[in-house]
């Protein structure tokens, strides 16, 4: 298992950060899952000094030569990898090159078959998360949903992981790991809702901007969504095709919307899933993400009360009772932070860390609600081990083998992409304080969320001559947008807003908590998505899908509890969507 270095690698903010970070944390307490990943990769992860490097590590730089054509080589079981050379700057196409790392799970039908339908590109969000990791881990499930006629393709966008250029604000990984004010520790200071907290965050962000500028070897300004959209077109063209088929999650909806607005004639299929308001994103506002966050929390309370004490460890007779117990617990931890020592870790479990744990759990209720209830019940009984291990990285360990970090996905990429993309923000403390106040007026989660924008205070000033809108477009095929009714960070309203820009587009509503469609197992939703990719059809405007089953399943199963009904022909699909909602994507590098 990776230790401290992961934390450095993953401690970024933004939409999906918390989600994926959490998933990784959880994996450390879920041995079965750990084993499954490792089975797939047929290797073991190392813990730093003393452990041999994985024997069949796939070294991208030695084993795949960058090329303007796609040259696929086997890399991990069931997957092929390639590196595509593209212009670093599309306004200077003969100049220096960037190199995009790609992975695919090839279609099961041969290319010569009349059923073959070409590549579907995926983006996992972040920004800054690895599309390669996504397809290693979830490619089979996406293939089960879409069908055997598609290549399932992921890529690390420029700035990220195995692609070049790669964003890095530090000379070494140790330096990065030891940099105190990671976004997460900033978060701790913001969350007291005091000016002093904001001021510290502001000062840290300015210092970080300075480090970014100092360590910039001239590539930083080329890392943005505009250039990545152009990279995607190159990827499509390198497949010998003209138009894109794409499914983007969270920030991936910004990338998809950007592509559609820049290349409206190049759209064959485009799904935006967990939709961000891209105008708000490009204005570096991050101000309308939290509209539905507390709806998810309400469902935690009501779901727990409804499910009974066997399913929900934090059970109380009514939703209000659960909420009251919850509020009391949070208050008491605020007054008395808890020192915690577990086998693997130690630290102070305080108000901030408990709130962070709760926020993360709202991303994937089917995966986390029972876990959270267990953690809260244990905390109420004085044991904070489960929650501490969830939110806090184990003590940092140096690695002896520098190559271990070669393809780490580090949070620098996220900051680089979102700060480059968005408008510059005012550098002064007063504006920063006002921003926080406005956020705090609209959401009780302002403390958790504000650091995203604040991470751009002090960001180097590059010319903003890349695409930032407008989005209005007549796309060559209408776009499908998917929004959940209680998504903690991409509210349904954003999907509806973005839909207005794209002529003929339709919003498919999933009546569920969680972030992005796959966080809740809905056969209905995934069938619409499959039909869209396969036949190009869109749901009727106003269509609403429900998930199957509940985050807190009714226990014990008896004749009067509702066992989810799944039609015979949907059983396979249900298996895939259920797994997607429960097997989380983990952003740590897979040593491949």
Ligand X SMILES: *[C@@H]1O[C@H](CO)[C@@H](O)[C@H](O)[C@H]1NC(C)=O
| Interface with ligand X (CB under 6 A) | 89, 91-92, 192-194, 221-222, 316, 321, 325, 377, 380, 434, 437-438, 441, 472-474, 503-504
Beta carbons within 10 angstroms of residue 310's beta carbon: 12
Name which of 402 and 426 has its Cβ closer to ligand X: 426
Residue 83 contacts residue 156 (beta carbons within 8 Å): no
Q: Shortest distance, CB of residue 241 to ligand X, whole angstroms?
A: 22
Q: Residue 294 CB, nearest distance to ligand X (Å)?
A: 18
Query: Rounded distance, CA 360 to CA 391, Å?
Result: 9
**Shortest distance (Å) from residue 197 CB to ligand X:** 7
Residue 556 preceded by cis peptide, ω within 30:
yes
Token representation of residue 502 = 């794209």
Of 423 and 472, nearer to ligand X (C-beta) is 472
Residue-wise DSSP of 245-268:
EEEEETHHHHHHHHHHHH-GGGEE
Q: State in angstroms the smallest separation of the CB of 439 from ligand X.
A: 9
CB atoms within 10 A of CB 74: 11
- Residue number with CB closer to ligand X (419 or 583): 419
Long-range contacts of 458-462 (CB under 8 A, 24+ apart): 458/205, 458/206, 458/207, 458/208, 458/209, 458/210, 458/427, 459/209, 459/212, 459/415, 459/419, 459/420, 459/424, 459/425, 460/209, 460/212, 460/213, 460/216, 460/220, 461/424, 462/220, 462/221, 462/420
Which C-beta is closer to ligand X: that of 96 or that of 572? 96
Beta carbon nearer to ligand X, 262 or 380: 380
CA 162, distance to chain mean position in Å, is 17
Residue 5 tokens, joined: 């270095």
Q: Which residues pair with 545 in a beta bridge?
A: 510
Cα–Cα distances (Å) from 77 to 37, 42, 217, in that order, read 12, 9, 36
Residue 442: Cβ within 10 Å count: 12
Tokens of 166: 């790669």
Our CB check for ligand X shows the closer of 194 and 403 to be 194
Question: By C-beta, is 321 or 427 nearer to ligand X?
Answer: 321
Q: Where are the beta strands (DSSP E) in 369-505?
A: 480-486
Instruction: Give min distance, CB of 114 to ligand X, in A.
Output: 28
Q: Minimal distance in Å, beta carbon 432 to ligand X? A: 12
CB of 308 to ligand X, least distance (A): 14
Beta bridge partners of 271: 247, 480
Q: How many Cβ atoms from other residues are within 10 Å of residue 520's Cβ?
A: 31
- The length of the chain in residues reads 592
Give the whole-angstrom CA distance, residue 313 versus residue 329. Answer: 14
Nearer to ligand X, 295 or 438 (CB): 438
Shortest spacing between CB 547 and ligand X, in angstroms: 28
CB of 87 to ligand X, least distance (A): 9
CB of 8 to ligand X, least distance (A): 26
Nearer to ligand X, 56 or 503 (CB): 503
Nearer to ligand X by C-beta: 219 or 528? 219
**Across-strand partners of 164?**
99
Sign of the C-alpha dihedral, residues 507, 513, 516, 520? negative
Three-state DSSP at 516 gives: coil
Please, what is the minimum distance in Å from the beta carbon of residue 515 to ligand X?
27
* Nearest residue (CB) to ligand X, 438 versus 530: 438
């Amino acid at each position: 298992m990776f230790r401290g270095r992961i934390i450095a690698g993953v401690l970024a903010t933004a939409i999906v950060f918390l989600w994926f970070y959490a998933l990784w944390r959880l994996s450390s307490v879920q041995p079965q899952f750990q084993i499954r990943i490792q089975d797939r990769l047929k290797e073991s992860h190392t813990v730093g000094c003393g452990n041999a490097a994985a024997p069949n590590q796939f070294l991208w730089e030695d084993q795949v030569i960058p090329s303007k054509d796609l040259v696929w080589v086997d890399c991990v079981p069931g997957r092929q990898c390639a590196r595509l050379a593209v212009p670093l700057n599309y306004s200077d196409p003969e100049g220096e090159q960037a190199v995009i790392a790609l992975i695919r799970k090839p279609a099961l039908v041969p290319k010569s078959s009349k059923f073959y339908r070409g590549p579907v590109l995926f983006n996992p969000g972040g920004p800054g998360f690895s599309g390669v990791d996504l397809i290693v881990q979830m490619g089979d499930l996406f293939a089960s949903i879409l069908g055997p006629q598609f290549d399932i393709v992921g890529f690390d966008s420029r700035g990220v992981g195995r692609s070049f250029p790669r964003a890095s604000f530090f000379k070494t990984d140790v330096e990065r790991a030891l940099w105190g004010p990671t976004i997460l520790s900033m978060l701790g200071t913001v969350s007291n809702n005091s000016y002093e907290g904001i001021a510290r965050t502001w000062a840290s962000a300015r210092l970080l901007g300075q480090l970014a500028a100092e360590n910039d070897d001239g590539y930083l300004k080329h890392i943005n969504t505009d250039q990545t959209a152009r990279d995607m077109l190159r990827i499509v063209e390198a497949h010998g095709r003209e138009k894109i088929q794409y499914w983007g999650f969270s920030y991936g909806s910004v990338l998809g919307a950007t592509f559609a607005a820049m290349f409206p004639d190049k759209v064959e299929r485009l799904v935006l899933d967990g939709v961000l308001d891209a105008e708000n994103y490009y204005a570096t506002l991050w101000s309308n993400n939290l509209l539905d966050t507390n709806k998810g929390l309400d469902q935690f309370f009501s779901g727990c009360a409804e499910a009974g004490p066997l399913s929900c460890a934090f059970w109380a007779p009514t939703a209000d009772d659960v909420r009251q117990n919850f509020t009391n617990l949070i208050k008491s931890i605020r007054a008395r932070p808890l020192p915690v020592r577990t086998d693997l870790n130690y630290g102070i479990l305080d108000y901030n860390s408990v709130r962070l744990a709760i926020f993360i759990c709202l991303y994937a209720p089917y995966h986390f609600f029972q876990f959270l209830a267990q953690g809260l019940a244990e905390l109420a009984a004085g044991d904070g081990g489960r929650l501490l291990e969830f939110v806090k990285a184990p003590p940092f360990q140096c690695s002896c083998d520098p190559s271990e970090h070669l393809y780490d996905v580090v949070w620098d990429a996220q900051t680089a992409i979102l700060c480059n993309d968005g408008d510059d923000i005012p550098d002064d403390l007063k504006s920063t304080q006002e921003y926080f106040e406005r956020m705090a007026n609209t959401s009780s989660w302002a403390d958790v969320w504000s650091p995203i924008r604040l991470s751009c205070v002090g960001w180097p000033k590059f010319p903003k001559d890349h695409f930032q809108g407008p989005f209005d477009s007549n796309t060559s095929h209408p776009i499908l947008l998917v929004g959940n009714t209680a998504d903690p960070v991409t509210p349904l309203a954003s999907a509806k807003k973005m839909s207005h820009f794209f002529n003929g587009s339709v919003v498919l509503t999933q009546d569920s908590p969680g972030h992005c469609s796959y966080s809740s197992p809905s056969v209905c939703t995934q069938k619409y998505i499959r039909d869209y990719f396969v036949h190009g059809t869109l749901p009727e405007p106003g269509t609403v899908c429900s998930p199957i089953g509940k985050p807190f399943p009714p226990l014990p199963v008896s004749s009067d509890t509702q066992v989810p009904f799944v039609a015979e022909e949907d059983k396979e699909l249900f298996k895939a969507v259920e797994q997607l909602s429960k097997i989380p994507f983990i952003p740590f590098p897979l040593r491949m």
